[in-house]
Amino acid sequence: MFSAELELNTPGFYEIDINYTSNDNEPIFAQASFALKAETSTPGLGSRAPASITHKASDAEGYLPYHKLYRP
């Protein structure tokens, strides 16, 4: 496991490349990519969570499953 502390002040897309040699002299390469937003989209502590969208089978159009495969 790797850990690092970064201070990033500019929003954008970042990619981190890590080259490491293990105790067994094996080269290890790891890569991480992430986007840094100008403003957080995470609700504040104690705030309501955003509503989720739940799809139901009855919402589907143009598809009728073979009815004998399903119990009423």
C-beta neighbour count of 10 within 10 angstroms: 7
Residue 31 located in a structural domain: yes
pLDDT category of residue 23 using cuts at 50, 70 and 90: very high
Residue 34 located in a structural domain: yes
Tell me the residue range of the domain where 25 lies.
Answer: 13-38
Q: How much is the average pLDDT of 48-54?
A: 85
Residue 57 located in a structural domain: no
Residue 26 located in a structural domain: yes
Cβ-contact 52, 25 below 8 angstroms:
no
Predicted TM-score (pTM) of the model is 0.48
Is 54 in a helix, a strand, or coil? coil
Residue 20 located in a structural domain: yes
Q: How far is CA 52 from CA 47, 48, 49, 55, in A?
A: 15, 12, 9, 10
Cβ-contact 57, 67 below 8 angstroms:
no
Residue 6 located in a structural domain: no
Residue 18 located in a structural domain: yes
pLDDT category of residue 38 using cuts at 50, 70 and 90: very high
Residue 1 located in a structural domain: no
**Total domain count, the chain:** 1
